[in-house]
Structure 1
Amino acid sequence: MQNTINNQNQENLKGIFFMVLAVLILPFSDAIAKWLSSSYTIIQIAWLRFFIQAIILLILSFILKYKISAFEKKYIFVSFFISASIVFLFWGLKYLPLANNIALFFIEPLVLTLLSVIILKEKLQKNHIVAVIIGLIGTLIIIRPNWSAYGMASFFPIVSAIFYALYLISLRQVSTKSNNKSLQFFIGILSTSILSIIIIICEFLDIDSFGFNQIKLNDWWLILLLGIITTIVQLLVSKAFFYSKASSLASFQYLEIISASILGWLIFNHLPDSLTITGAGIVIFSGLYLIRHERRSIKK
């Protein structure tokens, strides 16, 4: 019995490791998407992101000689949720500073924690609630919501967060140790198909803001980098949700604000003020608090 508990705790720490790595890398793709949004439509950037993901994983299947598993209908729901989330996230990035957009997105761990209890029937521990609340407080200090400054654009990352929580919940239900790359391949294919339909409809209706602009030659390396980073991140997230419960991973997503703030400063000259730094410190503390709790669980 004790060995079983220790193995479960060890696997939980593996999930936490993969999740922390994913959220620290993810803002790099957000920064690229924000940069590209000045020249291309949001739908187009999202389409390219998923298309490249599918191509990369198809190429890897030949290089690494692994077989892509059979398609399952439940992948459609996973793909719809992540497609909607990415579109609304990139839409928010077009209008909001990088750190602000991601901070508003951080309603997602709260939604995820609640859904993990309602849908997955996971038991919510006190340390999970404490970590999520602490992280949210830090995030609110960073964002200091100002609806008059950003208007309706502030709702985009919030809607994205709800869809992303649904994506992670459904990912938890369909992920296995062997189908990680195959799952993300089909997500790339299905999401590309979903967004293609939207692009065709918008082109037919002559809606320029959701159409497809001609891509400049010197932007292809950024687009390719966007696809590579997001593919790596989604593979890491899939691994994390195979090893760990959704409620255990929720608060670690707050760590994304750290690299987002740094990139916002370096690339877009959005300098973090003292309150942003204070909030970031609180966010880091929430993650360290939960890591400490999980490590202590292993020793018991």
Structure 2
Amino acid sequence: MKTDILEQPKSVNKGMLFMLIAVLLLPFTDAIAKYLSTSLSPTQISWIRFLLQALFIFILSFFVKQKIQKFRVSYIFLGLFVSLTMILLFWGLRYLPLANNIALFFIEPMVLTILSVLFLKEKIFYNHIIAVVIGLIGTLIIIRPNFSLYGMASFLPIASAVCYALYLMSIRMASSVGNSISLQFWVGVVSTIFLSILILIGESFSIEVLSFHIIDFSFWWILLILGVLTTIIQLLISSAFFHAKASVLASFQYLEIISATILGWLIFKDIPDKLTILGAIIVIFAGIYLVRHERKANRP
């Protein structure tokens, strides 16, 4: 009798290891984006990120001998939502410390729950309501000191979280998104085209956040690292979801706050204030509570 790969303990452990490495690496890409944001626009950084992703994935497909499948209409929506996610996230990093930015982004699981109820007509239970309310309270606590220090920029990572929740919801709604190599390649292509249009608009109307600045030669190696890291992280996450269920991996994203806080302190000398830490703990608790409930609800 053939055993499902997701039921094998060793495979699940491998998936958790891949996810752990991915979420600990993610803040490094955010740190690079924050460093670059002093010279390049958020849209430009996002454009380079997706261009390199598409290029690296295309090359990688030959090495792993996995054919890129044909283009699907669903990739358009996925590309648009994830492009906006990156622009808003990188825009927020221009003003907010790493840990603060990521702490506010952690509202995404709660947003996804609300969107799933509204648009996918999924059933909502009291556990969902409790988690969402607690998460919103935590978010408001984080916003309070950040808004007084950074103003409207505090809402950029929240807007980014909404776009990412829309991205995930679009994946749920699509009947098929193909294999991970195809998905990441076409999303990279669509995002590059979409961001190219935004940059043309930004240049035409002198919109700074959408503009394209001349890239200093010394930045290219940093951009190359950003592209390589992004590709590795996406492949790690894809591999993690192959070996383990989403309900097992979802809470791992909150470990991102650890490396984000350390990097923010080491590179930018940023230390989250007490209210931000308290709010982040509350949001993380709400997210883990929601994940645990989903895991129990989906248990056979």
Residue 33 of structure 1: aligned partner: 33
Contact 1:78-1:170 at 8 Å conserved across structures = yes
Provide the secondary structure at the position in 2 that maps to 1:66. Answer: coil
- TM-score computed with the length of structure 1 as normaliser: 0.80
Residue 75 of structure 2: aligned partner: 75
Counterpart Cα distance in 1 of 2:72 and 2:149: 44
Provide the secondary structure at the position in 2 that maps to 1:171. Answer: helix
Letter in 1 for 2:215: I
Residue 257 of structure 2: aligned partner: 257
Counterpart Cα distance in 2 of 1:263 and 1:171: 31
Counterpart Cα distance in 2 of 1:14 and 1:235: 14
Letter in 1 for 2:156: F
Counterpart Cα distance in 2 of 1:26 and 1:129: 29
Residue 147 of structure 1: aligned partner: 147
Q: CA deviation at 1:208?
A: 4.5
- Kindly indicate whether residue 164 of structure 2 is the aligned counterpart of residue 164 of structure 1: yes
Aligned residues: percent identity?
A: 59
Residue 203 of structure 1: aligned partner: 203
User: What does residue range 1-300 of structure 1 map to in structure 2 within 5 Å?
Assistant: 7=7, 19-122=19-122, 144-174=144-174, 179-238=179-238, 244=245, 251-273=251-273
Contact 2:41-2:211 at 8 Å conserved across structures = yes
Judged with a 3 Å threshold, the aligned counterparts in structure 2 of structure 1 residues 37 and 299 are, in CA distance, closer, same or farther, namely closer
- Alignment root-mean-square deviation, CA: 3.9
Contact 1:44-1:211 at 8 Å conserved across structures = yes
Using the TM superposition, name which of 94-103 and 248-257 deviates more: 248-257
Using the TM superposition, name which of 183-192 and 89-98 deviates more: 89-98
Letter in 1 for 2:181: K
Counterpart Cα distance in 2 of 1:124 and 1:13: 30
Counterpart Cα distance in 1 of 2:188 and 2:60: 14
Letter in 2 for 1:68: I
Letter in 2 for 1:70: K
Q: CA deviation at 1:284?
A: 6.5
- TM-score computed with the length of structure 2 as normaliser: 0.80
Contact 1:255-1:287 at 8 Å conserved across structures = no
Deviations 1:247-300 (A, max 9, x none): 776554333222211111111001245555566666666677678788989999
Deviations 1:174-213 (A, max 9, x none): 4869611111000000000000011112223344442211
Using the TM superposition, name which of 149-158 and 166-175 deviates more: 166-175
Letter in 2 for 1:231: T
Contact 2:110-2:135 at 8 Å conserved across structures = no
Number of residue pairs the alignment of both structures matches: 296
Judged with a 3 Å threshold, the aligned counterparts in structure 2 of structure 1 residues 10 and 178 are, in CA distance, closer, same or farther, namely farther
Q: CA deviation at 1:236?
A: 4.2
Specify every segment of 5 or more residues in structure 1 that has no aligned partner in the other structure, as ranges.
Answer: none
Q: CA deviation at 1:231?
A: 2.4
Letter in 1 for 2:90: F
Q: CA deviation at 1:81?
A: 0.4
Q: CA deviation at 1:173?
A: 4.0
Q: CA deviation at 1:72?
A: 0.5
Letter in 2 for 1:100: N
Deviations 1:47-91 (A, max 9, x none): 000000000101101222210011101110010000111111111
Using the TM superposition, name which of 88-97 and 201-210 deviates more: 201-210
Counterpart Cα distance in 2 of 1:61 and 1:129: 43
